[in-house]
Amino acid sequence: MNLSRSEELFAQAQKYIPGGVNSPVRSFRAVGGTPPFIARGQGPRVWDVDGNEYIDYLGSWGPLVLGHAHPVVVQALHKAAEGGTSFGAPVEQEVELAKMICDAFPSVDSVRLVNSGTEACMSAIRLSRAFTGRNKIIKFAGCYHGHADGLLVKAGSGAMTHGIPTSAGVPESYASETLVADFNDLASVEQFFNANPDGIAGIIVEPVAGNMGVVPPAEGFLEGLRRITSQAGSLLIFDEVITGFRLEYGGAQTKFGITPDITTLGKIIGGGLPVGAYGGRTDIMEMVAPLGPMYQAGTLSGNPLAVAAGVATLNELKKPGVYQHIDGLAQKLTDGLSDIFVKHEVPGTINRVGSMFTGFFNPGPVEILTHVEKSDVESHKRFFHAMLERGIYTAPSQFEAGFVSLAHTQAEVDQTIEIAEEALKSMR
């Protein structure tokens, strides 16, 4: 595979940008080699600057549920840009997006738009503290909620891949307010509540873990978190930055029938532009300025371009049968991949929830972080490159989710399975 132009660009990038990338997960550190610089995308495919074509299962790490450059999104962006890109004053379309979110999520009476999932989670934590008057937060090892100081503790993929358990530059005093429990282990949560009965503001959780690779919630886990927080007067925060509008129109909370107190969103609701959101019950959201004492603001929040792309995307997702279709396609893909792993006697486990999936090089089952960590990252690395060379773009780390979009078809799925078989054979 010719990557000469990408190699040139990466060399330049490393001079001007730390590590050559604006987000560490793009750097290919875990798998080695040069990240292809992407020139354009269309539907389920992307092309790099050397003209190599790939079927894309990264989907910009989750937002691109419609695929690349969906005509409806492109048209909405054109129209919005022609009318001006930012005013720092209210615009009609931000109300439309907010209403769509409130209508989709029964637990969300009102919602504040921000510019990233990081901001959404950071603000949700502040809100849970403002509302309860308590300081401690529980998060789960392997879950990622953006890079705010207090949340960068055992924070999954990026940090796991790069071997940084907790970031440098985070004061211990901040990190000490974060208690780290084990995903799918209610006893590890109860132990903190027993030790701090009145000290815990809330629990933040990815209802389906996506940032240690996909790990579904165990039977009763989310229900247990709901029960424990309600009894203790703490808030339950669902981080639906990936799962919101991905697993169902109403997110994981609709799929599993659990009502959190605060929900954070991002990724899909921006249709590929930078957006985040946090919302919840009226009495909680009334704490947020200008109504209440919790301050949170943003020059570009509710940006006309971002909300236009978001509204256009959600309108597509509202159509009947969308989730059945995308989940069915993802199932065909993961069933096909499982079959070839079995056929070629490669120990592997594919976890899938809806249209998000991870193939672990691990005989399985992969149900908790300890299992995830036992995956064979050397085999993943070789498989990743064998796939990339053959035109399949997946996340450059074992500990990430892959995404099927509405732009993928049976043809791409068949092609992917065929190529995966060749890739496995080439690894012998």
Closer of 239 and 248 to ligand PLP (Cβ): 239
CB of 274 to ligand PLP, least distance (A): 7
Total residues in contact with ligand PLP, by rule CB under 6 A: 15
CB of 240 to ligand PLP, least distance (A): 8
145 lies in the site for ligand PLP, by CB under 6 A:
yes
CB of 23 to ligand PLP, least distance (A): 7
144 lies in the site for ligand PLP, by CB under 6 A:
yes
The SS3 call for residue 301 is: coil
241 lies in the site for ligand PLP, by CB under 6 A:
yes
Q: Which spans in 148-261 are helix H? A: 157-161, 172-175, 186-195, 221-232, 251-256
40-48, 114-122, 221-229, 391-399 -> range binding ligand PLP (CB under 6 A): 114-122
- Contact pick of 94, 185, 239, 400 for ligand PLP (by CB under 6 A): 239
141-149, 159-167, 192-200, 380-388 -> range binding ligand PLP (CB under 6 A): 141-149
- Contact pick of 36, 210, 271, 336 for ligand PLP (by CB under 6 A): 210
Cα–Cα distances (Å) from 238 to 31, 167, 261, in that order, read 31, 23, 8
Rounded to an integer, what distance in angstroms lies between the CA atom of residue 100 and that of residue 155?
30
Catalytic residue among 48, 185, 239, 261: 239
The answer, yes or no, to whether the previous bond of 197 is cis (omega within 30 of 0) is: no
* 153 DSSP 8-state letter: B
Burial 82-104 (b: 16+ CB within 10 A, else e): eeeeeeeeebebbebbbebbeeb
Q: How many CA atoms within 13 Å lie on the side-chain side of 271?
A: 25
116 lies in the site for ligand PLP, by CB under 6 A:
yes
The SS3 call for residue 353 is: strand
The yes-or-no answer on residue 16 being catalytic is no
Burial class, 12, CB count within 10 angstroms (exposed 0-12 / middle 13-18 / buried 19+): exposed
117 lies in the site for ligand PLP, by CB under 6 A:
yes
Sign of torsion, CA 11 13 17 22? negative
- Contact pick of 146, 213, 217, 271 for ligand PLP (by CB under 6 A): 146
The yes-or-no answer on residue 239 being catalytic is yes
Rounded to an integer, what distance in angstroms lies between the CA atom of residue 330 and that of residue 348?
17
144-152, 353-361, 369-377, 378-386 -> range binding ligand PLP (CB under 6 A): 144-152
For ligand PLP, which residue has the nearest CB? 117
123 lies in the site for ligand PLP, by CB under 6 A:
no
Closer of 97 and 420 to ligand PLP (Cβ): 97
114 lies in the site for ligand PLP, by CB under 6 A:
no
Catalytic residue among 54, 57, 144, 278: 144
Rounded to an integer, what distance in angstroms lies between the CA atom of residue 150 and that of residue 226?
22
Rounded to an integer, what distance in angstroms lies between the CA atom of residue 100 and that of residue 102?
6
Under the phi-then-psi rule, with left for phi > 0, alpha for psi from -120 to 50, and beta for the rest, what region is 374? alpha
CB of 29 to ligand PLP, least distance (A): 18
Catalytic residue among 136, 154, 267, 381: 267
Rounded to an integer, what distance in angstroms lies between the CA atom of residue 288 and that of residue 105?
19
Which residues, other chains included, contact 104 with Cβ-Cβ below 8 Å and sequence gap of 6+?
245, 249, 250, 251, 314
Rounded to an integer, what distance in angstroms lies between the CA atom of residue 118 and that of residue 56?
24
Closer of 208 and 350 to ligand PLP (Cβ): 208
206 lies in the site for ligand PLP, by CB under 6 A:
yes
Q: CA-based angle 135:140:141, to the nearest 5?
A: 120
- Looking at residues 267 to 296 of the shown chain, list those that interact with ligand PLP (rule: CB under 6 A): 276
118 lies in the site for ligand PLP, by CB under 6 A:
yes
CB of 61 to ligand PLP, least distance (A): 6
- Looking at residues 12 to 71 of the shown chain, list those that interact with ligand PLP (rule: CB under 6 A): none
CB of 419 to ligand PLP, least distance (A): 27
The yes-or-no answer on residue 144 being catalytic is yes
Closer of 242 and 329 to ligand PLP (Cβ): 242
Longest dimension (CA), the chain: 63
Catalytic positions are: 144, 239, 267
| Interface with ligand PLP (CB under 6 A) | 116-118, 121, 144-146, 206, 210-211, 239, 241-242, 266, 276
